[in-house]
Amino acid sequence: MRLSDEQVRDYRDNGVLLVESAFDAAEVEALREAFRRDSRIGGEQRILEDDGSEVRAIYSSHRRQSEFAALVSASRVLGPVRQLLAGDVYLYQFKINSKPPFTGGHWAWHQDYLAWKIADGLPSPRLINVGVYLDEATEFNGPVIFIPGSHRNGLVRDRRRDEIRSRQHLDPDDISLTPDQLRSLVAGHGMASPKGPAGSVLFFDSQIVHGSAPNMSPFPRKLLIATYNDVGNLPRGEPRPEYLICRDTAPLRVEDKPLVTLGGGPS
Ligand code: HL5
Ligand code: SIN
Ligand code: MN
């Protein structure tokens, strides 16, 4: 898949671009089933909401479920990433934020690159996030809200506010922007929450300001996020655990393996 010139321009201007229904219903169901399988596996990669009852996020599912391993190199995901970053990339991080019905919690306003600069010593923001909607994103189920164009101002904060919620990963609560910073950014740029059917794909910049509200609806909102880094931009810090930061930095090649006929299990 190649993005049109207009889509590329949109991405550069806004820092975010939605491609609706890139994956079909059968593919989405295969990915959901792989998520169900993966959420039964305990370990540090599985992060629970504060009350311990529900899964908040799961990292590195691509290492345990073959559907996700296939997704990482799929042309519909990797094609645009290579086009937008203009060079070789590898997978930096893979996560699924699950935000279940009624209980799914918020994700504080933040910029991803600040987390990776602080926690991993990542030299530059040359990364792209690819969100894959595992459920429809509506105004009701806590979709991600972006401040379009905010990626062009660079980092708004330069350090952590807190170290409260960040044992297994760096939770955005600990690097969140202040109300004053948000007031002025939103006054200049407004807000947008790209809604779309399950199977839609969302490209977003590592410096765009984003966050999301709790899910009060009876509907789930699972969002898969694969983050790709430029192979020339390797982290320099003490590496965090492998479930957070991938160790294989070899350039990825586009490879389209079917997502639906794969039967799960490690690849
Ligand atoms: N939880 C991620 C990490 O690397 C960082 C956040 O949305 C990405 C800010 O620990
Ligand atoms: C969310 O899942 O709503 C937050 C996504 C992100 O921080 O990248
Ligand atoms: Mn984020």
Q: How far is the CA of 214 from the centre of ligand 3 (A)?
A: 15
Atom of ligand 2 nearest to the CA of 57: 2
Q: Which residue segments constitute the domains of the chain, with CATH numbers given?
A: 15-230 (2.60.120.620)
**Residue 265: pLDDT above 90?**
no
Tokens in use for 139?
């105004």
Q: Which residues are near ligand 2 (CB < 6 Å)?
A: 97, 107, 144, 172, 210, 212, 223, 225
Task: Quickly tell me which residue has 């898949």 as its tokens.
Answer: 1
Please tell me if the CB atom of residue 169 comes closer than 6 angstroms to any atom of ligand 1. Answer: yes
Rounded-to-integer distance, Cα 255 and Cα 76, Å: 10
Atom of ligand 1 nearest to the CA of 170: 10
pLDDT at 161: 79
pLDDT at 163: 75
Q: Calculate ∠ Cα 73-100-177, nearest 5°.
A: 80
Question: First CA to last CA across the chain, in angstroms?
Answer: 24
Choosing from 58, 112, 208, 212 the residue with most ligand 2 atoms within 8 A of its CB, the one to mutate for a pocket test is: 212
Please tell me if the CB atom of residue 105 comes closer than 6 angstroms to any atom of ligand 1. Answer: no
**Residue 262: pLDDT above 60?**
no
Q: Calculate ∠ Cα 98-136-108, nearest 5°.
A: 45
pLDDT at 263: 55
Interval 128-155 mean pLDDT = 98
Q: How far is the CA of 94 from the centre of ligand 3 (A)?
A: 12
Interval 210-224 mean pLDDT = 98
Please tell me if the CB atom of residue 27 comes closer than 6 angstroms to any atom of ligand 1. Answer: no
Task: Quickly tell me which residue has 């990292």 as its tokens.
Answer: 59
**Residue 195 CB-density burial (10 A; 0-12 exposed, 13-18 middle, 19+ buried):** middle
Q: For 61-102, what is each residue's pLDDT tens digit?
A: 999 999 999 999 999 999 999 999 998 999 999 999 999 999
Q: For 1-37, what is each residue's pLDDT tens digit?
A: 899 999 999 999 999 999 999 999 999 999 999 999 9
Rounded-to-integer distance, Cα 244 and Cα 13, Å: 29
Name the average pLDDT for the chain: 95
Could you say which ligand is closest to the alpha carbon of residue 94? Answer: 1
**Residue 112: pLDDT above 70?**
yes
**Residue 267: pLDDT above 50?**
no
Mapped onto helix, strand or coil, the DSSP state of residue 5 is helix
Q: How far is the CA of 261 from the centre of ligand 3 (A)?
A: 31
pLDDT at 2: 93
pLDDT band at 166 (very low <50, low <70, confident <90, very high): confident
For residues 42 and 167, which has the higher predicted lDDT (pLDDT)? 42
pLDDT at 159: 83
